Amino acid sequence: MLKTVIVNKTMPIPADTAWSAIAGIGGLERWFPVISACRVIGDGVGALRILTLAAGGEMTDRIELIDHSRRRLQYNRIESPFGVSHYLGTVTVGETVDGGSVVEWMVDIDAELVSQELLDFVHQAITAGVAGLELDLLESVASSSASETL
């Protein structure tokens, strides 16, 4: 049964800055509290992203698409401790009229039995991760501004 989880977040961060962080593929351990380590093998499409979960276990993503013109990244979770047969994540970064960004993180999940508990966990994890991305980028912008004024 295919289910979709979508998280949208508007940020006071330029879209190109947000996209650059996401297109870099790695760094998820800085954004997602449920991830304790993120290791990337390879570059670009076809790269593997190995995520170590804070609670134990690993997940592996294969990068399927990096479209810089549309600011869109897609990954296929090929290994997961959650017993899903299909997990396709799509992250898109849009630009707001005031120069900020909108990050949409969408996940299509297919499993024989997709429980509400699993969907809630994925939604909560992505929400926390996108909030962590925003905080990381705001801190980065602040420290860059402080360095420039010195």
Q: What is the percentage of the chain residues whose pLDDT exceeds 90? A: 81
Whether the model clears a pTM of 0.85, i.e. scores above it, the answer is: yes
- Per-position b or e across 43-64, b if 16+ CB within 10 A of its CB: eeeebbbebebeeeeebbbbbe
Helix axes 15-23, 116-149, angle to 10 degrees: 120
Q: What is the percentage of the chain residues whose pLDDT exceeds 70? A: 95
pLDDT at 73: 98
Q: Output the CA angle 136-137-142, nearest 5 degrees.
A: 100
CA dist., res. 119 & res. 9, Å (int): 18
Topology of the domain covering 2-143 = Alpha-D-Glucose-1,6-Bisphosphate; Chain A, domain 4 (3.30.530)
Domain boundaries, the chain: 2-143
Given the structure tokens 């049964």, which residue do they identify? 1
